[in-house]
Homo-oligomer: A and B are copies of this chain.
């Protein structure tokens, strides 16, 4: 690979939990961390200044969406996604694979070469391959590029994927991972490339996938194919079994997960990076995460509640307003309600990540986790 600024340094561990620093082309970031999702080159309802206020370090962009709109040509004209959206800190992009397989109306068809599908915008026939995904992500100039793979669904024809189906899918993903790496290098991409462990709910397949990826060699390793409809116990079992087996000297990224409890579980098992639409999407629907449980701001009990959403959080743009005001904005469908709710939820997510980083540094992570679960179970007043 090209020489890159990429560096990953574990500073401290407690049990399996790790406190590390990852250096990317747009700066160094502190892990464990959560990455807000900005599908279309914009974290919904947020501007870069809001993202900085809540403590975002890396944000995520969706290659599939950006490829279709506005297209790589427009983004290249801005020198990449950073310039287009005015974000000067690191960006991670997924490969587009997940959307191509999971969006139901694309009528996608999988070949060894790649995936054919119909554009959801104009019906045009499109073809996405590992090489094309690498080309797009190079245009975006993402600090972290993800390999193009097939995310094995939990259910196939309404029953869990069989071992044979999961194996076939995972082995194709391995071949695509190899092609992704080759293309990444041929493009002389100076950023970091992460592999993705697949294999569904089968331990042996997960291990086979991991070994295959390690043989190819990546800057970091992700766990894919979780939070795709499986029972929570299945997800947790895979994380417990797999996370700590990922290379110790590379970042570990749990894709598309999850609730505040999921983040804590992941960190406790050695995960360094997370992303999920939950804090941003739920904010727009009026579900607010707090230290003491979740709060539906539309509920009439908040109609005249003068308190900020979560008095335990550090002061921020959202905490200047009462629950009564946020309730009112939600009831009247004001755009600013979505914004204040999103600021709150991201603030909460990023704040618990910060607390976990500090707890690992101090060696008090176990106590922190116990207190966190106790607080969350208490319920919000």
Give chain A's interface residues, CB within 8 Å of chain B: 40-42, 44-47, 49, 69-70, 73-74, 77-78, 84-86, 303-304, 306, 317, 320-322, 324-325, 327-329, 331-332, 334-340
Alpha-carbon separation in the docked complex, A337 to B45 (Å):
9
* Pairwise interchain contact B69-A335, C-beta atoms closer than 8 A: no
Most chain B CB inside 10 Å of its own CB: which residue of A49, A335, A336: A336
Known: A74-B303, A84-B322. 17 other contacts (CB 8 A): A40-B332, A42-B334, A42-B337, A44-B334, A44-B336, A45-B335, A46-B336, A47-B317, A69-B331, A70-B328, A77-B304, A77-B306, A77-B324, A78-B306, A84-B328, A335-B335, A339-B339
Alpha-carbon separation in the docked complex, A360 to B303 (Å):
47
CB nearest neighbor in B for A340: B47
* Pairwise interchain contact A45-B336, C-beta atoms closer than 8 A: yes
CB nearest neighbor in B for A322: B78
Q: What are the residues of chain B within 8 A of A303 when measuring CB–CB? A: 70, 74
For residue A39, give the distance in angstroms from its CB to the closest CB of chain B: 8
Q: What are the residues of chain B within 8 A of A84 when measuring CB–CB? A: 322, 324-325, 328
Alpha-carbon separation in the docked complex, A331 to B73 (Å):
17
* Pairwise interchain contact A324-B74, C-beta atoms closer than 8 A: yes
Q: What are the residues of chain B within 8 A of A73 when measuring CB–CB? A: 304
CB nearest neighbor in B for A40: B332
Q: Please give the count of copies of this chain that the complex contains.
A: 2
For residue A211, give the distance in angstroms from its CB to the closest CB of chain B: 40
Alpha-carbon separation in the docked complex, A175 to B339 (Å):
44
* Pairwise interchain contact B74-A329, C-beta atoms closer than 8 A: no
Q: What are the residues of chain B within 8 A of A335 when measuring CB–CB? A: 44-45, 335, 338-339
* Pairwise interchain contact A74-B304, C-beta atoms closer than 8 A: yes
CB nearest neighbor in B for A47: B336
Alpha-carbon separation in the docked complex, A44 to B303 (Å):
20
Q: What are the residues of chain B within 8 A of A46 when measuring CB–CB? A: 336
Q: What are the residues of chain B within 8 A of A49 when measuring CB–CB? A: 317
CB nearest neighbor in B for A284: B335
* Pairwise interchain contact A320-B42, C-beta atoms closer than 8 A: no
Q: What are the residues of chain B within 8 A of A77 when measuring CB–CB? A: 304, 306, 324
CB nearest neighbor in B for A324: B74
Alpha-carbon separation in the docked complex, A330 to B320 (Å):
29
* Pairwise interchain contact A85-B40, C-beta atoms closer than 8 A: no
For residue A103, give the distance in angstroms from its CB to the closest CB of chain B: 15
Q: What are the residues of chain B within 8 A of A70 when measuring CB–CB? A: 303-304, 324, 327-328, 331
Q: What are the residues of chain B within 8 A of A329 when measuring CB–CB? A: 40, 42
Q: Can you sample 10 A-B contacts with CB below 8 Å?
A: A40-B329, A42-B332, A42-B337, A45-B335, A46-B336, A47-B339, A70-B304, A77-B306, A84-B328, A339-B339
For residue A61, give the distance in angstroms from its CB to the closest CB of chain B: 12
A69 contact from B317, B328, B338, Cβ within 8 A: B328
Alpha-carbon separation in the docked complex, A286 to B118 (Å):
29
* Pairwise interchain contact A40-B339, C-beta atoms closer than 8 A: no
Q: What are the residues of chain B within 8 A of A334 when measuring CB–CB? A: 40, 42, 44
